């Protein structure tokens, strides 16, 4: 039984608007994160990222999210207090929460999980 590999400890799947999937899997025994692109049940390609590069990717993703939050926070949303001209910070954060709830990809993923199909 010495050759039995353990299952990856962390894995997630992201589905884009076209239905293509990006599976991210952490393999601690090899110190790599595997990013693989899936079309239906077929892996179209993969990339083995050394763990040393993960902070750089995480930094890019965090900066991108920060840019997006800044961008959507600057746009008054209909029906928010900010659109009426007061309490801008509170209304901007509520607007961001609404956007996360209404994101089409997130809605599809929620529907999949609610239907008993796990994306992990």
What residues are paired with 15 via a beta bridge?
Answer: 21
Q: How confident is the model at residue 106 (pLDDT cuts 50, 70, 90)?
A: low
Q: How confident is the model at residue 73 (pLDDT cuts 50, 70, 90)?
A: confident
**pLDDT value of residue 3:** 52
> Residue 94's Cα: distance from chain center in Å?
20
**pLDDT value of residue 87:** 42
Least confident of 32-36, 80-84, 94-98: 94-98
pLDDT digits (tens, 9 = 90+) for 8-54: 578 999 999 999 999 999 999 999 999 999 998 899 999 999 999 99
Given a contact cutoff of 8 angstroms between Cβ atoms, the answer to whether 21 and 38 are in contact is yes
Mean per-residue pLDDT, 81-94: 46
pTM of the model: 0.56
Q: How confident is the model at residue 108 (pLDDT cuts 50, 70, 90)?
A: low
């Amino acid at each position: 039984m010495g050759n039995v590999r353990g299952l990856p400890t962390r894995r997630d799947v992201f589905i884009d608007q076209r239905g293509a999937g990006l599976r991210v899997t952490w393999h601690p025994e090899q110190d790599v994160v595997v990013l693989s692109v899936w079309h239906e049940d077929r892996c179209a390609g993969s990339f083995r990222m050394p763990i040393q590069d993960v902070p750089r990717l995480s930094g890019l993703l965090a900066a991108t999210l920060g840019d997006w939050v800044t961008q959507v926070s600057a746009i008054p949303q209909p029906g928010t207090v900010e659109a009426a001209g007061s309490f801008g910070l509170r209304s901007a954060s509520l607007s961001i929460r609404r956007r996360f709830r209404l994101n089409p990809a997130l809605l599809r993923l929620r529907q999949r999980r609610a239907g008993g199909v796990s994306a992990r």
